[in-house]
Amino acid sequence: MADFGRRQRRSREALERLLRRPAFWRKDPPLPVVVVTGPDGSGTEAARWLTEPFEDHLPFARVPATGDRTLRQLIELLADEGGRLGEPVSGSFLPAPRFPLVQFALWALTQRDRPPSTWDDTHGEPWPPDPRSGAGRKMFKERLKQWRWDQAQGTGKAVLRSADFFARAAPTWVPAGIVIALGAGWITDVVGVVQWIAGAAVAIVGTVGQTWLSIRGSIFNRWFKRQPYITRRPFEKLWAYGLRVAQAPEEDAERLLVHAMFEDLRQAYRKWPIPWPSWGRGLYCLLVLEAGGPRSANARFLNVMRDVIDETGRFVPLVVIVSASQADSLERRPVAQGSMESFEDVASEWRRRRDLRVPPLGMVLRVTDDLPTAPYGPRLIPVRARAWIYWAAVFSLMAAPLAYARAATLGCGGGLMEEFGQCVGLSDDLGRLRPDPLVRPALERIQEENARIPADHGRIVTVFFMGPLTRDPLLKSGDQFNGVLGELAGLHARQRQYNRQSGDWQVRVEFANVGQDFRSASYAAEVVEERAERDRGAAAVIGLAWSRKETQEAIRILGRAQLPMLSTTNSADGTPRVNGDRSSPYFFRMAAPNSAQAKAMRWWLSRGLPGGTGPVPVAKVATLEQRSPDGKDIYSADLTRELHTQLPDLPAALPFSTRTELSSQVDAACRNGARILVYTGRTTFLDTLLDDGEKVCDPSTQILAGDEVTVTVAEMRRWSGPRMNFVSLTDISTRIVPGNAAIDEAVGELPKAAASVTSRVHARLAYDALLAVTYALDDLLRQQSGQPGDALDIAAGVHYNLRGLRAGSPVSGASGAFSFEPGATDHTATPRSLWLFSVSQTEGIRPHGSCTVISARVECRSGP
């Protein structure tokens, strides 16, 4: 007796193995129709006993045989709105299967029995109407619209349906939107708030759009074009197709209904490439039928099921248990047979036949003994674990990008965003900003000066330093930090000087980190813009030292905020041109532009450079133009363009982006007889230029470089390369009063390692930039004397007074005397000076002349 119970238990275990899905990575197999036969209703009792333990754990339906039910009514019972296979499964943690395809087909067929009350009298044609009938097409169009509206109304089931489809769409589109937002900063010029708006738009539009299309059925209804029964024609409207379905012969309609229900079940178990509940379903659907007579709906369903699977070659994720008094022919091919006790062996035999690629649809089990009463519990832990794994994957897809986005926007703190592994944006909290150790001491000095200002001091102007304060951990060290150190030292020198001289108003400096190579300048500018909107004490932005497209975008944003910007060493003429050919009226340049450098180079070339006896033939001059791989660095192209403007007959520039390309261009230029190599690139490749120039070029060949190399040359204690000539924005060999003393004091307070690489070129220009701001501020305060501090629009007042600042009596600054011309559209400090230097192993740094730049006029002279 115990052995009999074990054999009967194994029959339920065999059914459980049929119902359980294979692992995620395995393909879903065909599933059988299991016919349970026995005399005097024992087959029905055995089918109930066999399936009872699984009823509450998977999509399940039990349908007794009745003589008056049609196949359409059977499908309605199973898959229509509220159908048994579409009921939620308690404890599965997954939504029930949806049946949008079969429900549309049912709706179309239901229209057969619902003619309008006045149809015959009004139109004089039978119902359902001919598919070419204009009145019929209009009627179906209106009815389809009403049906969709009824489905979308705020009933409980409609709300659940909407929430279900929303939950299916969100795990795809929310991560996609976040990935797009994060990726925009890497592959486009769009960064900061704009990229997150774009990402949010993708997430919202994608999620809402897919949800709406799912509710309407538009995503699924394309299937009607791919199936063989009453095929939807290309470009055929859905309501027109529904009219043809209503007109179709009953046999075709039945095949369409069964095939549509099967397709809905396949979609419920399909392993979509996007997150979908089908991945988490651990058990297949189970349908228990009483066979009934040969004319019953259940028998008709089985026959149509067999025909549809044979004709389409597609199986359905549905195990069908049929109880019958005898094993009628359900399959044209022989089927596996045995007793209930040998279910496991019969199932193994069926699988063997299934593996022959032409599997029989069913197997037959005969009831030969009484059924045991011992309870049986399915092993649901693996099934529920599969659902939990699915939800864990979904929550990871949702939470991981959201967490990354939160870390990117909030992880560094308010006003900062993590981008390229750096905290970029606006902050005066060095703990959250996490600056590079090299620049941190200079930032701390400024912080100490900020801290000396009483917290309740009502008259504070804020100046924002905009420059790179961090390094990208994935890139090699940048070459801008010696310049940044100089700018910070110059700002600190003038900030301390002004705050101690002025007892009424105080200057506070905050840090807008643009990240290495200014790649996050746009985001930093957006944060500064937001700050300026609510802070009437915001006065100006100082820095913007590099000529890049990101800097241009930052200038456009800050101009929109009407904040004056004073750049230090940004010399590209095209940098402030964010309004077509016109420069931003809020951009003030402290250094001479590239156009002036090009004129100075032309003058120097006409003198033959140091040691020359006459003009250098233009044909003997080769220009090496650096082009950044991302196309965002504009310095070299700008200087090259200005040089060709001054020397129209100059041969075409030789472009390079890598060290290998530079070596190749140097070799080609020297082989073609070039006597002068004009280098317009960054210092990144300077060592390659010097090495190759010394190895492959004639010893008499000279190098002429732009201002970009000045800092590197000036900070080197010993020059080891060949002789090089360059143009400098400031005099690096002498001291200029009064700024130098304050600058030297500020630099001297830095640790030795930082002070040794601090660029005094940048320090002087940054000092003068803040000097200009404080002069303009003092002019504003004199003009508005008597007004309370909070009534002043500091930025507007500083901008107004910078235009024409000391035009009649230039400011004596650390980089020389300067002023700004009134009414000029291109605000460049004037007069400016350019110095002509050379550097060699034997002579070190040696001056050879200088040029005075007054507006567009450049006057040069020789001599130290």
Residue type, 689: L
- Give the strand pairing for 538-543 and 460-467: parallel
- The angle subtended at Cα 472 by Cα 469 and Cα 473, nearest 5°, is 125
Q: What is the DSSP string of 63-125?
A: E---SS--HHHHHHHHHSTT-GGGS--TTS-SPPP--HHHHHHHHHHHGGG---TTHHHHH-S
Give the three-class secondary structure for 592. Answer: coil
Give the three-class secondary structure for 192. Answer: coil
- Give the strand pairing for 827-828 and 587-589: parallel
Q: Is the dihedral of CA 367, 369, 370, 376 positive or negative?
A: negative
Q: Is the dihedral of CA 16, 20, 23, 27 positive or negative?
A: positive
Q: What share of the chain is helix, strand, coil (3-state, %, to 5)?
A: 50, 15, 35
Is the whole-model pTM more than 0.85? no
Contact status, residue 573 vs residue 642, Cβ threshold 8 Å = yes
DSSP H or E stretch at residue 139: helix 134-152
DSSP H or E stretch at residue 222: none
The structure tokens listed for 546 are 């590099």
Phi-psi region of 854 (alpha: psi -120 to 50; beta: other; left: phi over 0): beta
Say if residue 831 is preceded by a cis peptide, omega within 30 of 0: yes
Per-residue pLDDT, 142: 83
Q: What residues have CB less than 8 Å from 148, skipping those under 6 apart?
A: 216
C-alpha span between 626 and 629 (Å, rounded): 10
pLDDT digits (tens, 9 = 90+) for 624-661: 999 988 889 999 999 999 999 999 999 999 999 999 99
Intervals of the chain under pLDDT 50: 1, 154, 156, 185-191, 735-737
Where does residue 717 rank: exposed (0-12), middle (13-18), buried (19+ CB within 10 A)? exposed
Contact status, residue 773 vs residue 566, Cβ threshold 8 Å = yes
Per-residue pLDDT, 407: 56
Per-residue pLDDT, 727: 95
651-661 burial, b for 16+ CB within 10 Å, e for fewer? bebbbbbeeeb
Per-residue pLDDT, 193: 56
Say if residue 738 is preceded by a cis peptide, omega within 30 of 0: yes
Q: How far is CA 671 from CA 652, 667, 697, 724, in A?
A: 16, 6, 8, 20
Contact status, residue 343 vs residue 10, Cβ threshold 8 Å = yes
Q: What is the DSSP letter of 201?
A: H
Give the three-class secondary structure for 369. Answer: coil
C-alpha span between 326 and 10 (Å, rounded): 23
Rg for the chain, CA atoms, rounded? 41
The structure tokens listed for 569 are 């060493």
DSSP H or E stretch at residue 756: none
Give the three-class secondary structure for 241. Answer: helix
C-alpha span between 724 and 694 (Å, rounded): 11
pLDDT digits (tens, 9 = 90+) for 164-205: 666 666 676 677 776 776 665 444 444 455 666 777 777 777
Number of Cα atoms under 13 Å in the Cβ half of residue 299: 14
Residue count of the chain: 864
DSSP H or E stretch at residue 364: strand 362-366
C-alpha span between 105 and 705 (Å, rounded): 77
Q: What is the DSSP string of 666-688?
A: HHHHHHTT-SEEEE-S-GGGHHH
Per-residue pLDDT, 831: 93
Where does residue 372 rank: exposed (0-12), middle (13-18), buried (19+ CB within 10 A)? middle
Candidates 257, 269, 266, 271; CA nearest to 80 is 257
Q: What residues have CB less than 8 Å from 384, skipping those under 6 apart?
A: 91, 92, 93, 282
Per-residue pLDDT, 479: 64
